[in-house]
Amino acid sequence: MRQQEWRKSNSGLAEDADMSAGPNAKFEATGVKLLTKTWRHAIAAVIVAVSTVSLVTQADAFPRVPDVHPAGVPGDFVITPFGYFHPSCVGQLAHGDILHQETKTIERANKTTEKIPECAYPHYRADGERVIGDEKAVQDPDISHAWIENASTTQSGPYGFQYAFWDVPPGPTNQDGQTLFFFNGMEDINDVVTIIQPVLGWNSDYGNAWGIAAWNCCESGSVFEGTPVRVNSGDQIFGYMFDNCASGSKTCASWDIVAWDLTNRQFSDLVGTSNFGQTFNWAFGGVLEVYGIKQCGDFPNGPADGYRGGGPELNFYNQGLYTDRLAFINTPKWSMSTTSGLSPSCGYGGTVPQQVILTY
């Protein structure tokens, strides 16, 4: 299913989308605000049943050791959407695990509780810069953080729900050990500590292949990833985040993050994950983040949706953005930001506002 096949109003998801087997199978009357925790408990058994037969095991899909490391980055460090981390500092959370920032614990699905260990290693930015402890994100992400281009918007009050659809693009022509991330997400523009994000990655969890995962960073120097899922070029991805608090809650401590392949019906999620004290008032409609790019052929070869017929690009379409009071934002004021002076120069840019289209 492609974007031309979708027909939706400003207050609901596409009527022809079959979401009956997904992580949040039923919607409230608004058509967009996912159901309460009570309902999610009711469908938990379905999620577990799906995961036991369709999701790869944690041992089979751990953020892989990249083929390319900047100078100074140890060879066993793995790539995440937040930079290079030691494997012991990358926590994979299974379906039903909950991350609690206030107590620095992980509540497992079987109701046992574990303390989040302090990461004993520094981590590194994309350019090899060493960082010790929890790092606050920068107000304007740049190439040192591997952000090539992004579209964002902000408001004085918090958001409560964000979603977008995008299609998995073709694989890159060249294989130089590069890693690519495409995602939407949220931050706190006044106190940037973390970003919550459903992510599509190339050469991340799976070597020279596409995968999706829900991510949240950081606590005690560690990052957290939902169980990843292998996906294929042409699959349709539904990435969304929503708070679990009452309408009007300014700073909600509990969020769900879901990266869902509507084509193969598999998903990665972080349910009830912590906001790390953030008020999410900065939304990203689409971001391209890269590691180890050596030539333009390291990017996906052609448009993701197959319709526009132009050069390489990825379209985050049918965007939905809501306030914490469930008010639909009819036309988000997306602002495009592209890092200049990069080498190689590969036609970076993008278009807004109705949809976020990233070019590379």
Instruction: List, in order of start, the domains of the chain with CATH numbers.
Output: 3-359 (2.60.120.1270)
What is the pTM for the complete model shown?
Answer: 0.80
| Neighbouring residues of 180: CB distance < 8 A, sequence distance ≥ 6 | 172, 201, 202, 203, 288, 289, 290, 291, 299, 300
Name which of 214, 257, 252 is nearest 102 in CA terms. Answer: 252
Greatest mean pLDDT range, 126-135, 296-305, 316-325: 316-325
Q: Name the pLDDT band for 11 (thresholds 50, 70, 90).
A: very low
**pLDDT average, residue stretch 286-295:** 92
How far apart are alpha carbons 253 and 274 in whole angstroms?
6
Phi, psi of 45 (to 5 degrees): -65, -35
How far apart are alpha carbons 83 and 126 in whole angstroms?
6
Cβ distance 56 to 86 under 8 Å?
no
How far apart are alpha carbons 71 and 73 in whole angstroms?
6
Q: Which of 59-63, 207-211, 266-270 has the lowest mean pLDDT?
A: 59-63
Q: Name the pLDDT band for 61 (thresholds 50, 70, 90).
A: low
User: pLDDT digits over 234-283, tens only?
Assistant: 999 999 999 999 888 889 999 999 999 999 999 999 999 989 889 999 99
